[in-house]
Structures are given as structure tokens and as C-alpha cells.
Structure 1
Amino acid sequence: MSTTMRAAVCVKAGPPEVLQIRDLPVPEIREGWSLVRVEGAGLNRSELRTRQGHSPGVTFPRVLGIECVGTVADSTDPRLPAGTTVAAVMGEMGRHFDGGYAQYALLPDALLMPVTTTLPWEVLAALPETYLTAHGALDALGILPGGGRLLIRGGTSSVGLAAAQIAAAHGIETAASTRNSGKAEALKAAGVDHVLLDDGRPPADAVHALWPDGPDYVLDLVGTHSVPDSLRLVRRGGTVCVAGSLSGWLLPDFEPIAMIPTGTRLTAFHSDTLKGSSGQGLLQRIVDAVQAGLYRPHLDRVFALDDIVTAHRRMEADQATGKTVVLPWADATGGRTGR
């Protein structure tokens, strides 16, 4: 194994161009940490916000990436022999220590989730953060194992499409919103029953034409901008779960007594809840469901590490429909995208 690796380093807060490809030393393992050969990393908007300088406590330079999949290259943990296929999510990856935008990542053993799979790397890389978040958010809503009417706001995000697929597999009637009419087919393919076009105004008329009393559940992936409106949309006594931050992280001037209708519930889901061993069983079930064809991950685009700036530009411009994945070894192996 080489003593150096290629990584996309965020050298300072700023536009996509602050991501620079550099040669770095391959990290050395230490007690409690394993070296992972990163075969794929999903891109997430939280990384975009970190790159922009909106993550308190993050110092630069930093290798971003809050998730990755790959194989154990070296470890002192007998649970993680070399060659084990693993996934890792959150736990301050790409924030307090270097993350998945590299050919190798030194990660805490407690974060690593061994999985058994024959999926191509680009498909496996699309699953951990996206599907764990989608499943966890639906659990937080109380909607699983099935029943009720669900509105997904921000439906063509990767989590939105994953949530739609999970909901459809459980027989849940689902509506989802998108600002782009050209993305309607992707929602229908994910199992959405009703596609609602979002023109920037509250979609109350469209929602109430479909469900006069409102949906039983709202999965809000738009975030702070739309939360007050989602609380007005959901039926009285229904539940809103915030699990995305497309419009930011903070809700200014929030007045719970005035903004939450009596009996209506507001909750949230954060994927950090399902990191490491707490998420391993669920991730394996998700992988199995994908292999069985029950879930069909929507890959927007697969990039080589050299194209990380282009990938971030696309994400920042909201051009993606579904998940964007980076393969750190793609250009080093002739564009290989399989296992």
C-alpha cells in the first residue's frame, strides 16, 4: 500500500473552488481507530454548508465527507478484519476529523458498520446517510409500518426520494412537492401517488384539494423556511418531522405556543442517532431491500474525486435529483464503478 493518498481538501470557507485535490500521507491506525479504503462517498448538503463556513467548530484545512463506504485496510479491532466491507456515517466525520472525500479515511471503530453485499460501490455509497435518515424520519413520524397520508416537502432530494420508496413499500399514500416540473417523473418512479408543484408559495390549496383535512404526517426536508407552514398544513393532531436543512438550520422568532396548533406534534430526526452499531442492523436490512429490488436508489450523478468542484457546484445550484456520489479511486482505476 502506498504511503500517500489523494484527497479533496477544503482549504478554507468559500465557494466550491476551495476544494483542492492534494496528496496527503495515508493515516496511521491507532487504538480505537481503523483505516478504511474509501470506495465511495455520498455528497450531502451539510458538507456544502460546512464548506461555506456555516458549521461552528470546524477548522480548515479539512477533508469533508460525513459518510463513506469501503473496505477495512488495517485495524486493531478483531471485529474489523482487513477486507471487511463497511459503511460509516456522521460522528463528526468531515468536521472534527477528516472524512470521506479521500482514498483512505481513519475512522473510529465505533462508527464502522460492517455490511454484507454484492452491490456496486456507487449504489452502496448512495445508501447510508440517505436511507438511514429517510427510515429514521418515518419512524420518528410514527408512520411505519404503514397507514395514513404522508406529505414529503423537498421530495426530489435524495432523502425525499428514499422516503417515498420506503413509504410506497409499506403501502402509505404519499404526496411530494417539487419546484421543478421536470422532476415529476422521478417522484412517480419512486412511488409517489400525488406530485405537487411548488411555486414558492405555501401549497395549502393543492394539499387541501387532495386531503381536505390535511395530511396525517409531513416530512419536511426543506427545513426552517417551511416548518411554520408545514405545521399549518398537517391535520390537527398530526405530526411534522423536520429531517432536512435545504433552507438552513435555524428558525428565527419561533413561538411554539403560537405556531404549533393544539394537539399537533413537531419532532425531528438526525442521522447521528443511527451511527455505528445502532444503525448497523437497519442498514443491512436496507441493503438487502435494495438487492431484492424493493428499494431502487436514485443516483443523480457519479463523479471522480478530480471532479469534486463540479459536483459541489451542481449540488449548490440544486440541479441534482437524488443522490450524488464520488468514487475516490475512479480515475486511478480507469473509471471503474463496480466492486
Structure 2
Amino acid sequence: MKAVVLAGFGGLDRLVFKEIPKPEPVEGTVVIKVMAFGVNHAEMHMRRGEWAEAAEVSGIECVGVVDACPGGEFQVGTKVAALMGGLGRTINGSYAAYTRAPASNVAAIESELSWAELAAIPETYATAWTCLFRNLEISRGQTLVLRGATSSFGLAALNMAVNAGAKVIATTRSKERAGKLEALGAERVEIEGTDLSQRILERRELDAVLDLVGNSTLLDSLAMVRRGGRVCLAGWLGGLAPIAEFNPLLQMPSGVHFSFFGSFVFGTPGFPLSDVPLGEIAADVAAGRYQAKPSRVFHFEEIREAHRVMEANEANEANEANGKMVVVID
């Protein structure tokens, strides 16, 4: 089968097309004919050798059709989504015509949406849903600050939080992007910065913060919420550098709940993928309640271009991505 393999770590030229064996069916796994997959920052970091693990074939998520399932968890021909469970990290991922994922990391996602539209959902919306409704326990009428809202993850979280009746204050690095966030239902848009807690009117009154910027803004996020409020760290748009110094005794506000969520736990006993209502999310997308259309769609042969756009967006050199990018396999 055709696949994109990592020929070592480095630049775009490290993504190389190669014929490799199709994965064999194994008990407890699902062989999936890949129809499309989302492009994620994690795969860029893996390509550059900045991640702890990287498989020969990258790609942490996909949508497609069940080709084989020895354990009987899914019928052959079922439309499914797969994410994490080692995909692209410890086992070959979705940058291929076929992939093999643990059955615990596969979910049925029957829908009339196109493959490109479905590919924009799994990793982004499963993670956003878990952060909002499990870690932050967001409910109607609460006020949420969403840091890094113009990322694909941020846009998904904004869609969901607004639809759940929360008041969302969204942040972005560029005021030119404010209109898009307001169109999706943000009550207000603030310019992102490490001093946001000093500028925001609702300081110490906020119910929750979903921080996708990362370590550089975490202490600032903790300073914003009320007693009993919640902060969830779930992204590193500001880079992977650790916090230089964090002393909970001096810097952690009393009575504030802080949690972390990384999607790599999906499929483990405490975080079954079946907990996430992917089918309902797809239905909400189809009904227009979530504006989750992919921002750009690439063909399989254009994988290097997809990574180039993602890198330029990360460096703030251009805003060519403008949301979730996906790749379709013709």
C-alpha cells in the first residue's frame, strides 16, 4: 500500500512516499481503509524530532471504513473514526491507505457528511468535548475564557461552549481574527498576552479557563478564575518550553481547580473513546449547529504542502490554515 513515511527527522523533505505492507488483522485491533485524516501540530513536532515518540508512519487520527476486525467489535464496512492509541507515535498511523488501530480507539461515526468533513471532527472535537464537559464541567450561563481560540481546537471548543449556553471570552494574537470568533458566538474577543489577567474585567470572577496557549500563560490563567473556578491546560500553541518556576504554595490560588488533558489517554480504561458522543457531534455538524467545515482540504500527494502551511501558521508568518486542515485519500 502507499504510505507517507518519516525518512528521519527534519524538514518537509523527511515526508517520503513509499510502498509498505498493508497491516495484517490482529485480535483486539481494527484494520481501517483510510479515507481522510486531519493534520495536527503533534505530527509536525514528530516530524521535527521534538516529540518523545514517532512511528515510521505519522498520523494520529483518521476516518474510514472497517476493512477487518478479528474480534468482532465492528462489522466490516462500518464507517469509523480512529484516534490516538499510539497511532503515529508507537505504531504506524494514518498517513497511509490503510492503518491498524486498537479497537478501544475506534468509534462508529455513521453520517452523510463527506469524508473531508468527517475528518475535521475526531481528534479536535473529542478533545474539546472532554476538556469542556469533563475537566471544566461547563454549564449553561457560566463564563469561560478560551485562550488560543483561532486554532482548530479552539474553534471546536468555541462551537461547543456557545452551543451549551456558556458565555465565551475568546483570545487571539491578531485583532484581524476577532470577527471570525464573534461570528461563532464569542461574547468578546481579547488580544492574547501573558498579562491578560491584569487586563480582563472579570478577573477573579470567571468560572473557567481553557488554556490552549500553554505553559507561558498558565500562571496568568490561574489568576483569573473565582474560588471554585476551573482551569484546564490542553495545548501548547505558545511553544513547548516548560514553566521556569512554579511554586504552588506561592503561585497557586486557593480554591481553584487545575487540570490537564492530553488526548493520548483516549482508549485507556479511564478515558474510553466511547465516552465521547462522536455520532452526536457529527449530527450537530450536519445540522449546522457546529461550524466545523475543514478550512483547507489537501490531496494525499500534497501532504508536504499541508505541513508547510501548518508550520507557517505556527510561526505566525501567515494565516493560511485558518482552522482545521484535512487530507483526503482519493
- Structure 1: where are the runs of 5+ without partners? 330-339
Alignment correspondent of 1:327 = 328
Number of residue pairs matched?
A: 320
Structure 2 counterparts to residues 262-281 of structure 1, below 5 A: 262-275=254-267, 278-280=272-274
Q: Counterpart of 1:334?
A: none
The alignment status of 1:260 with 2:249, answered yes or no, reads no
**Shift, 1:273, TM fit:** 4.0
| CA deviation map 1:254-289 (0-9, x unaligned) | 222222111122111222344389223511221122
User: Aligned pair 1:220/2:203, yes or no?
Assistant: no
Query: Secondary structure, in 3 states, of the residue corresponding to 2:295?
Result: strand
Partner of 1:36: 32
Confirm or deny: 8 A CA contact 2:39 2:327 kept in the other structure.
yes
Q: Which moved more, 1:245-254 or 1:112-121?
A: 245-254
**How far off is 1:298 after superposition?**
4.3
Q: In the alignment, is the contact (CA less than 8 A) between 1:11 and 1:19 conserved in 2?
A: yes
Deviation (angstroms), 1:248: 1.6
TM-score, scaled to structure 2: 0.90
The residue identity in structure 2 corresponding to 1:304 is: H
Equivalent residues of 1:216, 1:235 under 8 A apart: yes
Instruction: Describe the superposition over 1:98-135 as per-residue Cα deviations: whole angstroms up to 9, x where unpaired.
Output: 11111111222222111221111111111111111111
| Aligned: 1:8 with 2:9 | no
Over aligned residues, Cα RMSD in angstroms? 2.0
Partner amino acid, structure 2, of 1:161: L
The correspondence for 1:306, drawn from 268, 288, 301, is 301
Query: CA 1:297–1:213 in structure 2 vs 1: closer, same or farther (change >3 Å)?
Result: same
Distance 2:12 2:227 in 1: 43
Q: Name the structure 2 match of 1:244.
A: 235
CA deviations 1:160-184 (Å, max 9, x no partner) are 1111111111111111111122322
Report which stretch shifted further, 189-198 or 170-179.
189-198
| Kept in 2: contact 1:12–1:18 (CA 8 A) | yes
Deviation at 1:197, TM superposition (A): 2.1
Partner of 1:114: 108
User: C-alpha distance in 1, partners of 2:326/2:256?
Assistant: 37
TM normalised by structure 1 equals: 0.88
Specify which of 81, 86, 105 is matched with residue 87 of structure 1.
81
2:316 matched residue in structure 1 = none
In the alignment, the residues of structure 2 paired with residue 233 and residue 142 of structure 1 have an alpha-carbon distance, to the nearest angstrom, of 14
Q: In the alignment, residue 323 of structure 2 is paired with which amino acid?
A: G
**Identity value in percent:** 37
- How big is the shift at 1:89? 1.0
Matched AA of 2:257: R
Contact 1:140-1:267 at 8 Å conserved across structures: no
Q: Residue 49 of structure 1 aligns with which residue?
A: 45
